[in-house]
Amino acid sequence: MKRFPSSLIAGYRNFMSGRYTAESERYRHLADQGQKPQTLMIACCDSRAAPETIFDAGPGELFVMRNVANMVPPYEPDGNYHATSAALEFAVQALRVKDIIVMGHGRCGGIRAALDPNAEPLSPGDFIGKWMGLLRPAAEQIQGNSVLTDSERQTALERISIRNSIANLRTFPCVRILEERGKLQLHGAWFDIANGELWIMDPDSRDFVRLDI
């Protein structure tokens, strides 16, 4: 107990005396009946862009999968470990979600690393470097664009990454089949941490349009 972060203990106590008390019936129902979220949210690990907070979601409403730079790898049924693919499989096949949202955000550290050709590995395994390699072709194209500023390159790749992940989602047979049958919809979104704006990707043009409040 003494080594557990005191700020988290305080937060838990506030949760128990506040939100849990107000929604205790809902928590008990979820415990007894299980979860039935309608939406899978694929988001970044970044502590500044928590989907439950951004969308004011209650318990049981969102099935959230988070990784560095909110990316989805292509379908690869091999013998390796695939945490993102496992979460996707469970959400689609077991929970039968109706919507999948890939949500990126501004000032993403993973995207910044992908754009830096001189970035040094953080560890001998270079896990982040290998993971961000999913975006290498797009990153190399953007790096060579001298017309864009650094911040414009960053925003561009953050949004390209969202489109790339949606394309990779469609390489999963279960996703592609359900989408073709009209039982599953794929969406892209981009959140600006600085001003709280949410941009939604138009499914036809693939442009990002700011959501009006």
The pTM for the full model equals: 0.95
Q: Is 108 annotated to bind ligand?
A: yes
Chain position carrying tokens 């993403």: 108
Q: Is 45 annotated to bind ligand?
A: no
* pLDDT for 89: 98
Q: Is 29 annotated to bind ligand?
A: no
Residue 72: closest CA among 29, 102, 37: 102
Enclosing H/E stretch for 67: strand 62-67
- The total of other beta-carbon atoms located within 10 Å of residue 37's CB is 19
Torsion of the alpha carbons at 117, 123, 125 and 128, rounded to the nearest 10: -50
44's tokens: 């970044």
100's tokens: 């999948």
- Domains contained in the chain, CATH given: 1-33 (no CATH), 35-210 (3.40.1050.10)
DSSP conformational letter for 93: I
pLDDT digits (tens, 9 = 90+) for 24-76: 999 999 999 999 999 999 999 999 999 999 999 999 999 999 999 999 999 99
Q: Is 105 annotated to bind ligand?
A: yes
Chain position carrying tokens 């043009």: 205
